[in-house]
Structure 1
Amino acid sequence: MKSTMERAETRTAPEPKSNRGPLVVIAVFGALFLVGCWAAWFFTIDDAFITFRYSANMADGHGPVWNVGEDPIEGFTNFLWMLWHVPFALAGLPLETVAKVTSVVLGAGILVILVRAGHRAGGVLGALVAAGALVLFVPTYFHVTAGLETIAFAAVVLRAAIVGVDLVQGRAVRDWEPPLLLLLAGMIRPEGVLATLPGFLVWCWLRRRHGRTWALVAAVVVVGGGYFAWRWTYFGHLFPNTFYVKFGNLDAGSVWLETTVLLFLPLLVLTASLLIRKESRGEGLVLCSVVLLTGMTYAVSGPTMDYLYRFAFHAFPVLCLGAALATARLGHRVIAALAGIVTVGWVAVAGVTSVELPVAANYGPDLQRAHVAIGKGLAAARVPEAARSLAVSDAGAIPYYSGWKAIDYIGLNDEAIAQGARPADVVKAARPTVIVVTAQGPRATPGVVYGMSVPEVAKDYELVADIQMREGYFQEIFVLPEYAAQVKDAVTTSVDEAQRRNDPGRYEDTIDRWLDRLRAQLPGG
């Protein structure tokens, strides 16, 4: 005979969830994810080639340096991502492809994690909300294929958030995981320490009576402190060089914050709603803390190159998880379903209507026929090794493919400019063979670009080429007279070939151009 209490427990115990639901969700959304990656595969952001240049130089035995033979400068903020590509550079594999494949695998991992966590909390509806927001947000695919560390960082932050939620819900976690995630996140991006701190602190508190906990904390301090001390002594500065260029732009940070809040408003509201009920307050505190600490850095720095909400994406999967957990707590199934539909629909519409989407959708071919072609042309130019130097603002594909010594006059990869030197003074002192200037039209040389006076630095140079990337975006090539003919011939040959292969004659930033390109890739297209 069962007691009254035993019978009550039997009646109220939750039914075990079937594994069929999450498998179907993974299969359907996984197929959509792969289609999305295919549609954005051509997209690689110019900044990715900055990291690849450091990786290639390290693979060649020079260490992580911008210019071989010069003092090291930390012009990247993704050390572990840079390090990941070194063995592939040694093997001679194309780093652009390595980065894309890595991010596809990690992106698929994020999808699986969200489906499992969403299903565990709210059944099939929870899985649909968590994974649907990710998969139906079109910018996701451009972050997968961009070549940067965005997806890797988001994956680590998401996993750290889930570990924190598991801890406050009383689930078992592997003791080595919270400290490892803290180290990984901090070495992928400096702000990763903040992003993964909530789960780490929860773990420290709940495991405070275990000696192994403090041994692992000590290991984190030793390894993390050793890494920080090495990079400080190697590069000579407390923070990456990009920090000194970007940090402190509160006006831009305010705009970023307003844009991000509007973009993810339903996700933010649902995640914050976890704080209302006592039974969900612990997981709500963890998730809200992760989102707040992740975004705090960008809100006070006004991040540049924030294409398609790149920096907001770092916490996006965490918000997808929070929305799934919150819908599971709404109680009434119809209300939960409506909340999920509104949330996923909001995010999907916000992504597909982004004003930046047409530019990103055509950016890959545009970069190939301009920056990549210029870099390859410079590499082929008959210019002596000692004279292979250039100054450039778009300091990614052009320096990477050319292999030339490069002055980044924005300052991301130039210590003097980052510390306040006039770009014109730095460029004039170096007197590079080539100066590349971004203009809005042919023969429309700007007076000042990124703080550099173009007439001042290029007065003794010859303009040998105006290369169109897209509507309203040209690269002007200025060359010292003694090398003008060689550079012009090589760059023109390279660019002409690239223009023929990449959307010839089309320079408009439209979704139609993107769709036409995709249709041409289909069988019979």
Structure 2
Amino acid sequence: MLRAPAVDAGPATDARPGRPRGRRPAFVAALVVLGAGLWACWSVTVDDAYITYRYSANLAHGFGPTWNPGQDPVEGYTNFLWMLWHVPWVWLGVPLPLVSKVTSAICAALIGWILVTEPRTRAGAAVAVGAFVLFLPTWIHVDAGLETAPFALVVLRGVVLSARLLRDDDTPVRPWEPPLLFLVAGMLRPDGILALAPPLLVWAVRRRGHPGTWLCLGSALVVGVAYTAWRWSYFGHPLPNTFYVKVGVEAATDLRWITTTGLLLLPLILLAAGAVVPRATRTSALLALAGCLALYAVPAITAPAMDYLSRFAWHGFPLLCLAAGWALDSVRQRVVAAVLAVLAVAWTCTAGFLHPNGPSMVNYGQDLRRAHIAIGLGLADAGLAPDRRTVAMTDAGAVPYFSGWRATDYIGLNDERIAHGTSATDALLADRPTVVVATGPTPEMPRTTWGTDLPRVVGDRELVAVARVRPDYYEQVYADRDVAPELRATIGRRLTEGAAVTDGRYDQTYGRWLDRLFG
């Protein structure tokens, strides 16, 4: 069944071999579906995004990229360029979640264009772009506020350029683009250099005799080394602070991540592997699979607990979509190709909605607004002296961002002491924060959270608020007794406001989501 690639006849192709035309209607249809999905999930901004926003705001206000102004800087983000991108918007007063969503939506549209135009057949384009735009995690991760979509676009573009060179050595490629993509990918996420190392090597070998190749490559290397030297000297560690937490604390050796990802993307993985068989698509498919393996290696080994809705798998998702499209390019029988495309898209779409995190993620924005954001705004409203505006919490996103208070993140994502071995209990006892926010499955204080002895840390602080996030997820706010009455009032007002502007429901179901959209 797998033979040499067959290009659709008639209007599906133009005079340039392998470059289809007549795909604009398909692209418009894909944009409509993508737009509908992004609209449906527009309220979702994940708590982690506010970590990046806090660094952006501090940099914009002249404090540098740091968690707590005036303290030793810590690299609690892993997306330097994404953090930097938001800085000018702070000056302009544009809400940072809006900046993230619009930027990511544009990147997702560009990914869609690549997936529509790179496959040589309609069936290939259909499976590539169809799986992408009908996948629930696509809607969530584009709207969530993190660098996920821009990063995936840069990786996809780098693989596509080198795949074109493998198919036709005369393909025009700007000498500065592959090194720039490699540099940008590495500065968006550290694992970007792993994903784009194979495409960069292919380009360098194929273009080794062309003018400008080594100049552009050397320039990118100089910039990359300078950036690495700066961040190491500025933050004092060779790797982002989050790495030491996620590998040292969260790391697991079970097969959870591999099993979930394998089932979620099974047809695309099988098709991508099938694209290795025909000679015409072999090298391109191997390049795409190499990028996926590089992106998937770390989460497969560490099984990260913070990988909501398979975010780390989504980094390579467009690569799998494209490789699946290339596989169907090699299926000579159009009916068979069409059936395979429908089955792959149907599986991917269904699996996305059946993902265990799906119902909670589509309701995430509502839950965050009435709890974390309300608490952060309530803290900001309090008229405490600057030296008393200190808070400790595990959910180190919206609460520190909206409060503007000096914050101790006792998971350690933004605290070098805890990340490098200091007991979170000892760190909190040393910091003596005015407010401690505890999370647990009930309204009662848990005995321990992330290895922290909460009763000992909370001490004689007074409970001033309890915010219910989900059926088994609560935030308890404890404050020093002398400021407890004021904080009880300000946080209480914000919790009431949050309840008024959200849907008032706690069930983690698609029904709740649909009722909110259409009710």
Distance in 1 (CA, whole Å) between partners of 2:107 and 2:85 is: 14
Give the partner amino acid of 2:314. F
Change (3 A) 1:426 1:486: same
Q: Secondary structure at the match of 1:183?
A: helix
User: Which amino acid letter does the alignment assign opposite residue 386 of structure 2?
Assistant: E
> Within 1, Cα distance between the matches of 2:472 and 2:190?
35
Residue in 2 aligned with 1:210?
A: 210
Matched position secondary structure for 2:476: strand
Counterpart CA distance in 1 for 2:251 and 2:496 is: 43
- 1:57–1:63 Cα contact (<8 Å) kept: yes
Q: Structure 2: which amino acid aligns with 1:471?
A: P
The Cα of 1:252 is off from its aligned counterpart by 5.1
Deviation for aligned residue 1:16: 5.9
**CA separation of 1:514/1:113 partners in 2, compared to 1, >3 Å: closer, same or farther?**
same
Match of 1:167 in 2: 165
Q: Is the counterpart of residue 229 in structure 1 residue 229 in structure 2?
A: yes
Q: Kindly indicate whether the alpha-carbon contact (under 8 Å) linking 2:252 and 2:304 is maintained by their aligned counterparts in 1.
A: no
2:48 corresponds to 1:53: no
CA contact (8 A) 2:275 2:324 kept: no
Partner of residue 273, structure 1:
274
1:397 — aligned with what?
398
Assess if the C-alpha contact under 8 Å between 1:266 and 1:343 holds in 2.
yes
Q: Partner amino acid for 2:50?
A: F
Q: Hey, what does 2:102 align to over in structure 1?
A: 101
Q: Which residue of 2 aligns with 1:515?
A: 514
- What is the percent sequence identity of the aligned residues? 46
* Alpha carbons 2:112, 2:129 under 8 Å: kept: yes
Task: Please state if 1:441 is matched with 2:439.
Answer: no
CA contact (8 A) 2:167 2:280 kept: no
Distance 2:358 2:41 in 1: 11
Post-superposition offset of 1:374: 0.4
Q: Distance in 1 between matches of 2:298 and 2:157?
A: 20
User: In the alignment, residue 150 of structure 1 is paired with which amino acid?
Assistant: T
Partner of residue 92, structure 1: 93
Give the corresponding residue for 2:197: 197
Q: Which residue is 2:501 aligned to? A: 501
Query: Using the alignment, how far apart are the partners of 1:100 and 1:237 within structure 2?
Result: 31
- The answer to whether 1:17 aligns with 2:18 is no
Post-superposition CA distance 1:36-83 (Å, at most 9, x none): 110000001000000000000000001000001001100000000000
Kindly tell me: are residues 31 and 221 of structure 1, through their superposed partners in 2, closer, same or farther at Cα, counting changes over 3 Å?
same
Whole-angstrom distance in 2 between the partners of 1:369 and 1:154:
31
Aligned residues: 504
Is the contact made by 1:247 and 1:302 (CA closer than 8 Å) also made in structure 2? no
Relative to structure 1, the CA distance from residue 17 to residue 482 in structure 2 (aligned partners, 3 Å threshold; closer, same or farther) is same
Report the Cα distance in structure 2 between the residues aligned to 1:253 and 1:407, rounded to whole angstroms: 31
Separation of aligned partners in 1, 2:303 and 2:246: 7
Deviations 1:143-178 (A, max 9, x none): 111000010111111111111211101122221111
Query: Which residue is equivalent to 1:489?
Result: 489
**After superposition, what is the alpha-carbon deviation per residue over 1:429-460, rounded to whole angstroms, capped at 9, x for unaligned?**
00000000002122x21000011011110122
- Displacement of 1:258 after TM fit? 2.0
Could you tell me how far apart the structure 1 residues matched to 2:45 and 2:92 are?
21
Query: How far apart in 1 are the matches of 2:440 and 2:240?
Result: 29
Alpha-carbon distance in structure 2 between the residues aligned to 1:88 and 1:26: 30
Correspondence 1:463-474 to 2 at 5 A: 463-474=463-474
Cα distance in 1 for residues equivalent to 2:9 and 2:498: 61
Query: CA, structure 1 residues 88+199, in 2 after alignment: closer, same or farther (shift >3 Å)?
Result: same
- The whole-number CA distance in structure 2 between the counterparts of 1:250 and 1:273 is 32
1:15 CA drift (Å): 5.2
Query: What is the CA–CA distance in structure 1 between the aligned matches of 2:435 and 2:306, rounded to whole Å?
Result: 25
1:256 — aligned with what? Answer: 257
CA shift in 2, pair 1:328/1:503, >3 Å = same
Q: Is the 8 A contact 1:43 1:361 kept in 2?
A: yes
- Cα offset, 1:278, TM superposition: 2.4
Q: Which runs of 5+ in 1 are unaligned?
A: 1-11, 521-525
Equivalent in the alignment of 1:523: none
Shift of 1:363: 0.9
Counterpart amino acid of residue 495 in structure 1: L
What's the counterpart of residue 185 of structure 1? Answer: 185
1:361 aligned onto 2:362: yes
**Partner of 1:3 in structure 2?**
none
Task: Tell me: CA distance 1:39–1:14, structure 2 relative to 1, closer, same or farther (3 Å).
Answer: closer
State the TM-score, normalized to the length of structure 2.
0.95
* Per-residue CA distance 1:275-298 (angstroms, 9 max, x = gap): 222232211221111111111122
Unaligned segments of structure 2, at least 5 residues: 1-6, 14-19
Query: Relative to structure 2, which stretch is displaced further, 399-408 or 338-347?
Result: 338-347
SS in 1 for 2:363: helix
Structure-1-length-normalised TM-score: 0.94
RMSD: 1.5
Give me the whole-angstrom Cα distance separating, in 2, the residues matched to 1:157 and 1:281. Answer: 19
Kept in 2: contact 1:37–1:145 (CA 8 A): yes
| Aligned residue identity for 1:116 | T
